[in-house]
Amino acid sequence: MEESGKIFLEYASLTALLIMAFSIIFPLLRLFKGPTLPDRVIALDQISFIIVGIIICDVFYTRNTMLLDVVITVSLLLVFGSMIIARYLYKKQNEDG
């Protein structure tokens, strides 16, 4: 029973990895085609969180827990970076308007 659980986890993580690899295409299109700066910032956030998800799938597939520290650190940096960019865009909008 334990072996079938490991096989299921491998297949599930590979399936999730393929789905996330495919889903990164749409934010990339928005990043390059986006009409405004906030659209591009949101697309960049989406891409970065998809990459974090890909790293998590790699942790499940390879059973290498060393990458979990990297995921936590990158996630914290992404959240703080998003808040800083949002604050900059808010101030820029208030100065222009």
Q: Give the total number of structural domains in the chain.
A: 1
Give the residue numbers spanning the domain of 71: 2-96
The values of phi and psi at residue 46, to 5°, are -60, -45
Mean pLDDT throughout 51-67? 89
Q: To 10 degrees, the CA torsion angle through 8, 54, 22, 18?
A: -20
Q: What is the pTM of this model?
A: 0.83
pLDDT at 72: 92
Write out pLDDT tens, residues 80-93: 998 898 898 888 88
pLDDT surpassing 80 at residue 97: no
Residue 36, C-beta contacts closer than 8 angstroms, at least 6 positions apart? none
Q: At 96, list the tokens.
A: 């222009």
The residue count for the chain: 97
